[in-house]
Amino acid sequence: MNLHQCVIDFAGKEPDRLAVTGPADALTYGVLDERAGVLAWRLRALGVGRGDRVVIWAEKSPDVVAAMQAVLRLGAAYVPADGTNPAARVAGVVRDCSARVVLSTATLLPQLHDHLPEDFLLQDLAEDLDGAPEQINEFVEPDSLAYILYTSGSTGTPKGVSISHRNAWAFVDWAVRVLEPTPADRFANHAPLTFDLSVLDLYAAFAVGASVHLIPAELAYAPTQLVDFLHQSQISIWYSVPSALTLMMRDGGLLERTAPPRLRAVLFAGEPFAIDQVRRLADWTSARLLNLYGPTETNVCSFHEVAPADLSRDRPLPIGGTASGARLWAQRPDGMVAGPGEEGELLVEGPTVMLGYWGRGRHDGPYATGDIVRVLPENRFEYVGRRDHMVKVRGHRVELGDVEAALAAHPDVSEAVVVVAGTGMDARLTAFVLPGGDGQPGLLDLKRHLARRLPRYMLVEDVHVVTELPRTRNGKVDRAALAATARQPVTSRPL
Amino acid sequence: MSDDVTSERISGYIRERFLNGDKKGELEETTPLLEWGVLNSMNTALLLMFIRDELGVVIPPTKINAGNFQDVKSITAMVTDLARQDQATIAAGTE
């Protein structure tokens, strides 16, 4: 199976069935198929063929989903870049994966001119194109590259996680078996399309001929509007980071309204979900609640379905046991397999483990997640923490070194250390900066500087200009001390 | 409320809450707030609540887009416009 056959099949059988909606438009399977077909034809004319990469840089919309399908039909791979990413970073991704074409929108495309060669192929993904003379549907091998998701890299260069059709489908197939969706289901898509949570929303919906309802980036954390969206779009399967649900409960009045009768599953992943919030959610809805776990490199490899017994616990939910056919074990620091009650780094082997990082050779053997877990009975796991400086901000993974490298490139900065203050919904990146050069860097000036280099979710919120950085006894920067300082509120925080 | 007052209240809130008081006085009416991450997904929610509670203007979902939140100027224009519509509705209702 591959990621584009379903849309072709449903378009043939039931073209008038709803496939995807955005704030401005809704596409049936028939129209989605037609748009994908026409754009595939144009891309072929531009020279895109099997094994090529196409970067799609845009705000999410039904047209973007059609563009993803178009690329796949050529046997090529799509590389999504969020519409809010700066042009310089997108150009870096284009070069890194040696993309053949960039698909984008009329407002964004001109911004690339300063960053890419003059003759680079750019295509407006919403252009009104003539019909395709015939359908394009290249055969793809299960191990063919389907998409590359770029994530933060520790040295300041993003890493491209290469996912094959087999990798993605193993996850989608698992999700379909667990959720048993029907064509009547309505999936919400909360996550950006650059984030692997979106893979479930789109492809589990398409696998059964259901519909997916896109939430634009600007609405993703607008509490009352999200609650309205849940009701008005009659969502039956919701999947997001816990932060979004917490926000809807805290500021959006989610629990004050009766749970939507069609809501039958609420899935969350990307960060721990505070147990009291899970409890409130469980009191409110009879929908199934599922905690999903997995880094981009393995997609979802474990899950835990909330049961009544969980609600009396005082620790976060377990990340649970195997999903998507994965084999999971924890490795102790001495290299031995950790037993029940012991801690170790979680290792993953199985059909969802990525092909590799783009340009760095094929990945072989189990994937070491960098996540420290505690082993529970029946080969289930509980998340404990990280073994490196990678942090999560509302589910987005951020390598602190990536942000520090960008800050240090500012002429008025000689050294920078970034820490996370707060957890869950209130997590914020805070920078400690040693001034260099002639001037004291201004807060807005630093924000502007970062915004040209990093995606939005990696921009720091607070900056402390300091004259020295605290050190541990062996001379390393004392990150724990800085994190404690960062937790002291700079200004009063809202309730 | 005049445009200037609205603009100043919105700027003041952004300075205090999101820019640590803006000690260097860098914030301008046309500073690109979304692009530079001054407004992010969480801050925008706070600003929406401020506008609702303190300025008495509820912003409908259809108005929440990058264009209307790009800088203080565009936020002010949207808020004054919505406030004017509200007043027109009230006036029409009392006739």
pLDDT category of residue A492 using cuts at 50, 70 and 90 = very low
In a domain, A153, yes or no: no
In a domain, A474, yes or no: yes
**Lowest-pLDDT range, A28-37, A349-358, B3-12?**
B3-12
A235, A312: one domain: yes
3-state secondary structure of A405: helix
A43, A102: one domain: yes
Last residue of one domain, picked from the residues A367, A388, A409: A388
- Cross-chain residue pair A457–B22, CB shorter than 8 Å: no
pLDDT, tens digit, for every residue of A79-98?
Answer: 999 998 999 999 999 999 99
| Residue A217 with chain B: CB contacts under 8 Å | 41, 66
A324, A283: one domain: yes
| Residue A439 with chain B: CB contacts under 8 Å | none
Find the CATH number of the domain harbouring A6: 3.40.50.980
As a whole number, mean pLDDT of residues A286-290 equals 98
- Cross-chain residue pair A218–B66, CB shorter than 8 Å: yes
pLDDT at A221: 85
A105, A188: one domain: no
Find the CATH number of the domain harbouring A372: 3.40.50.12780
- Helical H runs in A50-152? 62-73, 87-96
Contact A90, A55 (CB under 8 A): yes
A383, A407: one domain: no
pLDDT category of residue A152 using cuts at 50, 70 and 90 = confident
A192, A205: one domain: yes
Range of the domain at A457: 390-487
| Residue A223 with chain B: CB contacts under 8 Å | 45
Residues in contact with A63: Cβ distance below 8 Å, sequence separation at least 6, in sequence order: A35, A125, A126
pLDDT at A476: 80
A26, A66: one domain: yes
Mean pLDDT of chain B: 88
B interface test, pick of A21, A218, A423, A432 with most B CB neighbours within 10 Å:
A218
pLDDT at A132: 86
**pLDDT, greater one: A354 or A405:** A354
Spell out the domains of chain B, with CATH numbers in brackets: 3-94 (1.10.1200.10)
**Lowest-pLDDT range, A178-187, A281-290, B41-50?**
B41-50
pLDDT at B93: 58
pLDDT at A239: 98
Choose among A314, A295, A318, A294: nearest CA to A306. Answer: A318
A359: Cα separation from own chain's centroid: 21
Number of domains in chain A: 3
Q: Are strands A53-58 and A77-82 parallel, antiparallel or unpaired?
A: parallel
Q: Are strands A462-465 and A428-435 parallel, antiparallel or unpaired?
A: parallel
Encoded tokens for A327:
């084999």
pLDDT at A262: 97
Q: Which of A12-21, A471-480, B3-12 has the highest mean pLDDT?
A: A12-21
A344, A397: one domain: no
User: For the stretch A279-318, what's the b/e string if a residue is b when 16 or more beta carbons lie within 10 angstroms of its beta carbon?
Assistant: ebbbebbebebbbbbbbbbbbbbbbbebeeebbeeeebbb
In a domain, A90, yes or no: yes
Distance in angstroms (rounded) separating the CA atoms of residues A216 and A223? 13
pLDDT at A493: 33
- Cross-chain residue pair A457–B40, CB shorter than 8 Å: yes
Distance in angstroms (rounded) separating the CA atoms of residues A420 and A430? 6
Task: Find, in chain A, the residue whose alpha carbon is nearest to that of B13.
Answer: A491
pLDDT, tens digit, for every residue of B44-75?
Answer: 888 998 999 999 998 887 788 888 999 999 99
pLDDT at B1: 66
In a domain, A479, yes or no: yes
As a whole number, mean pLDDT of residues A60-71 equals 97
**Lowest-pLDDT range, A169-178, A200-209, A406-415?**
A406-415
pLDDT, tens digit, for every residue of A100-144?
Answer: 999 999 999 999 999 999 999 999 999 999 888 899 999 999 999
In a domain, A176, yes or no: yes
Phi then psi for residue A457, to 5 deg, are -70, -10
A213, A344: one domain: yes
Please give the full DSSP string across A365-402, using - where no structure is assigned.
Answer: SPEEEEEEEEEEGGGEEEEEEESSSEEEETTEEEEHHH
pLDDT score of A491 more than 50: no
- Cross-chain residue pair A461–B40, CB shorter than 8 Å: yes
Q: Which of A372-376, B40-44, B86-90 has the highest mean pLDDT?
A: A372-376
Q: How close is the nearest chain A Cα to the Cα of B26, in Å? A: 6
E strand or H helix at A450: helix A443-451
A228, A317: one domain: yes
A378, A397: one domain: no
Is this complex scored with an ipTM above 0.90?
no
pLDDT category of residue A280 using cuts at 50, 70 and 90 = very high
In a domain, A71, yes or no: yes
pLDDT at B92: 66
In a domain, A454, yes or no: yes
A450, A467: one domain: yes
**Lowest-pLDDT range, A41-50, A79-88, A220-229, A481-490?**
A481-490
Choose among A95, A107, A20: nearest CA to A64. Answer: A20
| Residue B23 with chain A: CB contacts under 8 Å | 443
Looking at chain A from residue 392 to 411, which residues have their Cβ under 8 Å from any Cβ of chain B?
Answer: 394
Last residue of one domain, picked from the residues A388, A404, A433: A388
Q: Which of A217, A444, A457 shows the shortest C-beta gap to B19?
A: A444
For chain B, which residues lie within 8 Å of any Cβ of chain A, measuring from their own Cβ? 16-24, 26-27, 31, 34-38, 40-42, 44-46, 48-49, 61-62, 64-66, 69
Distance in angstroms (rounded) separating the CA atoms of residues A202 and A214? 9
**pLDDT, greater one: A477 or A61:** A61
Per-residue CA distances from A166 to A300, A355, A363, A459, A470 (Å): 14, 10, 15, 34, 48
In a domain, A120, yes or no: yes
Find the CATH number of the domain harbouring A412: 3.30.300.30
Contact A202, A189 (CB under 8 A): yes
Mean pLDDT of chain A: 93
Residues in contact with A285: Cβ distance below 8 Å, sequence separation at least 6, in sequence order: A259, A263, A266
Contact A165, A146 (CB under 8 A): yes
